[in-house]
Amino acid sequence: MSTEQTPPAAEAEAPQGPGVGVDEWVARSSGRREYAPGRLGEAQRLLERVPWWVILLAAGLAGACVPFLTTNDFQLQIGINAMLLAILAVGLNISVGWAGLLDLGYVAFYGFGAYGYALVSSNQLNPPAGVHWSTYISVPVVMIAAGFLGVAVGWPSRRLVGDYLAIVTLFFGEAFVEFTNNVAPSKLGGPNGIVSIDPYKVFGTTILTNKGYFYVLLVLLVLTVGVLHLLDTSRTGRAWRAVREDTLASSLMTIPVFRVKLMAFAFGAAVAAMAGTVFAAQQINVFPTDFATPFLILIYAGLILGGAGSLAGAVLGGLILSVTLDGILRSPTEAGYIFYGLILATLVVKIRPWARLGAILGATVLFGIVVHTIVKAISPSAVAGGPQSSGWISDLVHNWVVVPSNPTRAGNIAYVVLLVLVIALVQVKGRWRDILMVPTLYLAACVWEGVLVAQPSITRQILLGVILIVMMNARPNGLLGRRRVEVV
Amino acid sequence: MRFFIQELVNGLTQGSLYALIALGYSMVYGILKLLNFAHGDLYMVGAFVGYFVIQWFGGSTALTIPVPLLLLFMFLLAGGGVGMLGVAIERFAYRPLRDAPRIAPLITALGVSFLLENSMLLLFGASFRDYNTSAFIPFSSGIHIGVLNISLTRILVIVLSLVLMIGLRLLVDRTKLGRQMRAVAEDREAAEMLGVNVDYTISMTFFLGSALAGIAGVMAGLVFNQIYTLMGFVAGLKAFTAAVVGGIGSIAGAMLGGLLIGIAEAMISGYISSTYTNLIVFGILIVVMILRPQGLLGRAPLQKV
**Higher pLDDT, residue A405 or A190:** A190
Of A96, A416, A461, the CB nearest to B114: A461
Rounded Cα–Cα distance for residues A143 and A112 (Å)? 9
Q: Is the peptide bond before A353 cis (omega within 30 degrees of 0)?
A: yes
User: Which of B119, B122, B229, B305 to substitute to test the interface with A, most A CBs within 10 Å?
Assistant: B122
Give the pLDDT of residue B82.
94
Rounded Cα–Cα distance for residues A432 and A424 (Å)? 10
Q: C-alpha distances in angstroms, A24 versus A19, A249, A401?
A: 8, 16, 58
Mean pLDDT for all residues in chain A: 81
Q: Which amino acid is at A19?
A: G
Q: How many residues does chain B have?
A: 305
Contacts of B106 in chain A (CB under 8 A): 102, 163, 166
Model confidence at A146, in pLDDT bands (50, 70, 90)? very high
A300: closest CA among A101, A93, A78, A154?
A93
C-alpha A440 chain-centroid distance: 28
- Spatial CB neighbours of A195, under 8 Å, sequence gap ≥ 6: A122, A189, A284, A285
Give the pLDDT of residue A15.
43
Give the pLDDT of residue A372.
81
Half-sphere exposure of B134 (CA within 13 A, CB side): 6
Kindly determine whether residue A182 and residue B275, on different chains, have CB atoms separated by under 8 Å.
yes
CB A461 within 8 A of CB A294: yes
Q: Is the pLDDT reported for residue A300 higher than 80? A: yes
Give the pLDDT of residue A183.
82
Query: Which tens digits make up the pLDDT trace of B187-218?
Result: 888 998 998 999 999 999 999 999 999 999 99
Query: Which tens digits make up the pLDDT trace of B8-41?
Result: 888 888 899 999 999 888 888 888 888 888 898 9
> What is the dihedral angle through the alpha carbons of B101, B105, B106, B107, rounded to the nearest 10 degrees?
100
Helices A73-92, A106-119: inter-axial angle, 10-degree rounding? 120
Model confidence at A13, in pLDDT bands (50, 70, 90)? very low
Give the pLDDT of residue A16.
47
Rounded Cα–Cα distance for residues B83 and B78 (Å)? 8
Strands B129-130 and A205-206: unpaired
Rounded Cα–Cα distance for residues A240 and A238 (Å)? 5
Rounded Cα–Cα distance for residues A283 and A417 (Å)? 41
**Higher pLDDT, residue A161 or A304:** A304
Q: Is the pLDDT reported for residue B149 higher than 70? A: yes
Give the pLDDT of residue B127.
84
For chain B positions 179-198, those within 8 Å of chain A (CB to CB) are none
Q: Is the pLDDT reported for residue A31 higher than 70? A: no
ipTM: 0.83
Give the pLDDT of residue B33.
82
Give the pLDDT of residue A487.
42
Contacts of B96 in chain A (CB under 8 A): 473
Model confidence at A415, in pLDDT bands (50, 70, 90)? confident
Which of A1-10, A272-281, B46-55 has the least mean pLDDT?
A: A1-10
CB A276 within 8 A of CB A110: yes
Give the pLDDT of residue A91.
92
Query: Which tens digits make up the pLDDT trace of A321-331?
Result: 888 888 777 77
Give the pLDDT of residue A318.
87
Q: Is the pLDDT reported for residue A2 higher than 70? A: no
Give the pLDDT of residue A86.
92
Q: Look at residue A37 and give its three-state secondary structure.
A: coil
Kindly determine whether residue A166 and residue B106, on different chains, have CB atoms separated by under 8 Å.
yes
Mean pLDDT value of segment A273-294: 89
Q: Is the pLDDT reported for residue A214 higher than 70? A: yes
Q: Is the pLDDT reported for residue A441 higher than 60? A: yes
CB A220 within 8 A of CB A274: yes
Give the pLDDT of residue A1.
41
Look at the alpha carbons of B181, B183, B186, B191 in this order and tell me if their dihedral is positive or negative: negative
Contacts of A462 in chain B (CB under 8 A): 114-115, 118-119, 122
Nearest-Cα residue of chain A relative to residue B284: A171
Give the pLDDT of residue A265.
93
Q: How many residues does chain A have?
A: 488
- Spatial CB neighbours of A439, under 8 Å, sequence gap ≥ 6: A367, A421
Give the pLDDT of residue A385.
66
Model confidence at A226, in pLDDT bands (50, 70, 90)? very high
Q: Is the pLDDT reported for residue A108 higher than 90? A: yes
Mean pLDDT value of segment B138-145: 74
User: Which of B34, B36, B102, B103 to substitute to test the interface with A, most A CBs within 10 Å?
Assistant: B103
- Provide the terminal-to-terminal Cα distance of chain B, rounded to the nearest Å: 53
Give the pLDDT of residue B77.
93
For the entire predicted model, the pTM comes to: 0.84
DSSP tag of A353: S
Query: Which tens digits make up the pLDDT trace of B39-75?
Result: 989 999 999 999 999 888 887 787 788 888 888 989 9
Give the pLDDT of residue B200.
92
What percent of chain A is modeled with pLDDT above 90?
A: 14
Look at phi and psi of residue B225 and say left if phi exceeds 0, alpha if psi is from -120 to 50, else beta. Answer: left
Strands B143-145 and B148-150: antiparallel
Query: Which tens digits make up the pLDDT trace of A370-404?
Result: 888 888 888 777 766 667 666 777 777 777 777 77
Of B96, B278, B286, the CB nearest to A473: B96
For chain B positions 280-299, those within 8 Å of chain A (CB to CB) are 282-283, 285-286, 289-290, 293
Give the pLDDT of residue A222.
92
Nearest-Cα residue of chain A relative to residue B247: A164
Give the pLDDT of residue A336.
79
| Kind plus residue range of the DSSP H or E element containing B148 | strand B148-150
Contacts of A175 in chain B (CB under 8 A): 279, 282-283, 286
User: Which of A160, A163, A181, A251 to substitute to test the interface with B, most B CBs within 10 Å?
Assistant: A163
For chain B positions 90-129, those within 8 Å of chain A (CB to CB) are 91-93, 96-97, 100-108, 110-119, 121-123
Mean pLDDT value of segment B242-254: 81
Look at phi and psi of residue A6 and say left if phi exceeds 0, alpha if psi is from -120 to 50, else beta. Answer: beta
Which of A143-147, A437-441, B295-299 has the least mean pLDDT?
A: B295-299
Query: Which tens digits make up the pLDDT trace of B74-132?
Result: 999 999 999 999 999 998 888 888 877 777 888 888 889 989 988 988 888 888 888 88
Model confidence at A11, in pLDDT bands (50, 70, 90)? very low
A194: closest CA among A144, A105, A139, A131?
A131
- Spatial CB neighbours of B145, under 8 Å, sequence gap ≥ 6: B2
Give the pLDDT of residue A5.
46
Which of A120-124, A145-149, A239-243, A255-259 has the least mean pLDDT?
A: A120-124
Largest CA-CA distance found in chain B, in angstroms, rounded: 64
Q: Is the pLDDT reported for residue A485 higher than 60? A: no
Give the pLDDT of residue B176.
92
Question: A59, exposed or middle or buried, with CB in 10 Å at 0-12, 13-18, 19+?
Answer: middle
Q: Is the peptide bond before A128 cis (omega within 30 degrees of 0)?
A: yes
What percent of chain B is modeled with pLDDT above 70?
A: 97
Give the pLDDT of residue A165.
84
Mean pLDDT value of segment A248-259: 88
For chain B positions 200-219, those within 8 Å of chain A (CB to CB) are none
Q: Is the pLDDT reported for residue A362 higher than 50? A: yes
